Amino acid sequence: MDIKLKTPLSKEDTKKLSVGDIVYLSGIIYTARDRAHQRILEDGSPVNLKGAVIFHAGPIIKISPSNEDEYKMVAVGPTTSTRMNPYQPDVLKLGVNAIIGKGGMDSKTEEALIENNAVYLAAVGGCAALYVKSILEVKSVNWIDLGVPEAIWKLEVKDFGPLVVAMDSNGRNLYKEVQNKIEANIN
């Protein structure tokens, strides 16, 4: 079943999601990779994280030659989420209700998802050109000193997806479930 949600997400939104659900998001999402996660914890967040969705992505951005504050998103695809494992549980405590990435995350993040009624949404790698079509506008950028891929980009999106609920707030983990099925078939 396809589920359309508007950001910021509420705990009620995320509690209803189950592993395997297909989600499309509209509203505001933020890109953030490992250096941005680290700085959020060291210096505080430059954006309101209550109900926020963080996308583990390093976008390709075109900066207008006539106005360096005007940006166009060329492509944006998920990056491997395991790089954020050292920071993600503490960032979730700041109010983040959903993470978008690829590859899943560790058991500490899984516990933090449960504790904070948050979800991990898997994006399909290789679909950067598809995902960029859902971006209506690059609203702003924070910490551009980290470089374009590592900066926090505030994106207004419409029907951003498809995203698969891969880790839900009830403790289900699609990656573990698939691994268990594989191991059961081998034995």
Query: Per-residue pLDDT tens for 22-39?
Result: 999 999 999 999 999 999
pLDDT in tens, 119-174: 999 998 777 788 999 999 999 999 999 999 999 999 999 999 999 999 999 999 99
Tell me the CATH architecture of domain 2-186. Answer: Alpha-Beta Barrel (3.20)
Whether residue 180 has pLDDT greater than 90? no
Q: What residues does each domain of the chain span?
A: 2-186
Taking the alpha carbons at both ends of the chain, their separation in whole angstroms is 32
56 in active site: no
pLDDT at 66: 83
* Per annotation, catalytic residue among 37, 39, 56, 102: 37
For residue 107, the model assigns a pLDDT of 95
What share of the chain has pLDDT > 70, as a percent? 99
Do 122 and 104 meet the contact criterion of CB atoms below 8 Å apart? yes
Nearest CA-CA partner of 55 in 98, 106, 93 = 98
